[in-house]
Amino acid sequence: MILIYLKNLSKNDKILLSALFIIGIGVFYILVTYLKNKDIWTTEPVSDTEINKRQKERGVVTSLITSFLGIIVSTIMIVFVKSDSASYQALVSIICLGIFGFLLDNAFATENGVDILFNGIDNEVSNKLLKVGEKFTEGKVSIKKVSSALKYSFGTLLSPKILRYIIVSFLDIFISLMLTDGIVWGLVNKFDINTSLSYIFAMVVVAITTFLAYSNATRLEWAYPAVEELNQRSDLISTPVILINTILAGMVFLIWKPLMKSKSGISSTSGKLMMILILFLVIVVCYYMGYLDPVLKYEIINTVIPCPNPEGVGACVNTVVVENDILSVKEIYNNHELGVLLFFILCVVLTTVVAFTPRRGTAKRFTTTNISLSIIVITLLSIPGILAYTI
């Protein structure tokens, strides 16, 4: 099937496919480089700034792994299943693969996840609270600890983190769909590139660009901060900044007219309106449940007060540490079974919807091939759940 597809490609298509291959090699090189960087694969006590920095660098690794899986899944769904591209990008690429990345982030990028990866879930001593003169020690990675880290990440699907992640995912959906449509239109109409291949190339380029521009920061500096134990609010992205940008992007998306003339699925007027309504529903729920702001265990609050001097002139900073009630790592870990089940159901439902949402002008049937390919996609997305549930 693949050889027949390659044989029918034009010269320009093969050039674009070669560019994708080169990008893949570059991404793989970057992935290996980060994996070899011992400075980020540790939970050794350092400043909050350094912890945030190494979490974002670990986030690059998890995002690259998700991108590789994304290329495989998009090739299956767009080239062979011939699903509606916009619906695929919104429901499977950004939501299913996005949550797949969310799981990898919480397992292998956050400090809690990496601490479990090295020391296991039953480690009683926090390496961040060393006594004077005590030497920092770290355990070795094992399959069981990898499974434990994944179980912790699936437990986070039942925490407020996932709702904040959904909000930044909508920001990504709105921007990515519009950028992808413009790139595909240019490739198809200016360079006569195959439409399916153009969509895959555009999704890869847009995913890398948006990741570098904002998505890594919105995830790791707002949805789920690096330092949950002790932090100050000024170190995080402000919630109003996230909300205003997401809502503005949503309004632009609502009046956006696709250049590729796709009026089906997510790109249709009803589809766009539905996305906006879901976004507002999530924001309202988060607001009234008190989930919009990430809750930190010990939050450093600085307030300006009059200086206690005889003249009564000037201002001083009063620092107070407030303790908040949040779920412990073990409590989150214990919710993993339900998290695995919810993610599996989500992948099955959205993949099935996209697999049988016809691309405009394409007759769709519930063929054996489409069903088989959909099962392969669901299996690929279920790999973390399989590892977490069976080991």
pLDDT at residue 125 tops 50: no
Last-in-domain residue among 325, 343, 371:
325
Mean pLDDT of the chain: 83
Measure CA of the first residue to CA of the last residue in the chain; give whole Å: 35
Residue 324 is predicted with a pLDDT of 78
One domain, residues 334 and 372: yes
In a domain, 5, yes or no: no
What is the residue whose two structure tokens read 């039942």? 158
Give the model's pLDDT for residue 1. 52
Co-location of 289 and 303 in the same domain? no
AA letter at 316: C
**Shared domain check, 24 and 80:** yes
d(CA 281, CA 284): 5
Of residues 305 and 41, the one with the higher pLDDT is: 41
Identify whether 345 is part of a domain.
yes
Note whether 95 and 162 are within 8 A (CB): no
For 217-278, the three-class secondary structure string (H helix, E strand, C coil) is HHHHHHHCCCCCCEEEHHHCCCHHHHHHHHHHHHHHHHHCCCCCCCCCHHHCHHHHHHHHHH
Same domain, 120 and 253: yes
CA neighbor of 225 nearest in space, from 112, 64, 369, 334: 112
Give me the percent of the chain exceeding a pLDDT of 70: 86
Residue 3 lies in a domain: no
One-letter amino acid at 46 equals V
pLDDT for the residue 178: 92
Judged by phi (left if over 0) then psi (alpha if -120 to 50, else beta), residue 290 lies in: left
Residues 217, 131 within the same domain:
yes
Least confident among 49-53, 345-349, 375-379, 382-386: 49-53
Q: How far apart are CA 10 and CA 14, in angstroms?
A: 6
pLDDT tens digits for 256-307? 988 876 666 677 888 889 889 999 999 999 999 989 988 877 777 777 777 7
In a domain? residue 195: yes
CA distances from 239 to 26, 212, 230, 250 (A): 34, 20, 19, 16
Q: What is the arithmetic mean of pLDDT over 183-192?
A: 89
Please check whether residues 191 and 42 belong to one and the same domain.
yes
Q: Side-chain half-sphere of 388: how many Cα atoms within 13 Å?
A: 29
176-180: long-range contacts, CB 8 A cutoff, minimum separation 24? 176/89, 176/94, 176/203, 176/206, 176/207, 176/210, 177/86, 177/89, 177/90, 177/253, 177/266, 177/267, 178/252, 178/253, 178/256, 179/206, 179/209, 179/210, 180/85, 180/89, 180/206
308 with 333, same domain: the answer is no
Residues 47 and 87 in one domain: yes
Largest CA distance in the chain: 87
Backbone dihedral region for residue 82 (phi beyond 0: left; psi -120 to 50: alpha; all else: beta): left
Number of domains in the chain: 2
At which of 325, 344, 371 does a domain end?
325
Position 360 scores a pLDDT of 59
Percent of the chain topping pLDDT 90 = 30
Higher-scoring residue by pLDDT: 140, 8 = 140
pLDDT at 379 over 90: yes
Q: Are residues 130 and 57 in the same domain?
A: yes
| Within a domain: 4 | no
Give 317 or 106, the one with higher predicted confidence: 106
Q: Would you state the pLDDT for residue 250?
A: 94
Residue 164 has pLDDT above 90, yes or no: yes
Instruction: Determine, yes or no, domain membership for 213.
Output: yes
Do 301 and 154 fall within a single domain? Answer: no
Asked if 246 and 171 count as a contact pair (C-beta separation under 8 A), the reply is: yes
Residue-wise pLDDT tens digits, 227-264: 676 666 667 888 999 999 999 999 999 999 888 766 66
Strands 230-232 and 298-306, bridge-based pairing: parallel
Do both 187 and 330 map to the same domain? yes
The boundaries of the domain holding residue 60 are 10-228+237-293+326-390
Neighbours of 256 (CB within 10 A): 14
In this prediction, residue 127 carries a pLDDT of 46
What pLDDT is stored for residue 279 in this prediction?
A: 93
Q: How far is it, in rounded angstroms, from Cα 350 to Cα 382?
A: 13
Confidence band, pLDDT 50/70/90 cuts, at residue 126: very low
Domain boundary pick from 275, 308, 325: 325
Q: 376 in a domain, yes or no?
A: yes
Q: At 308, list the tokens.
A: 């206690």
**Could you tell me if residue 1 is inside a domain?**
no
305 with 284, same domain?
A: no
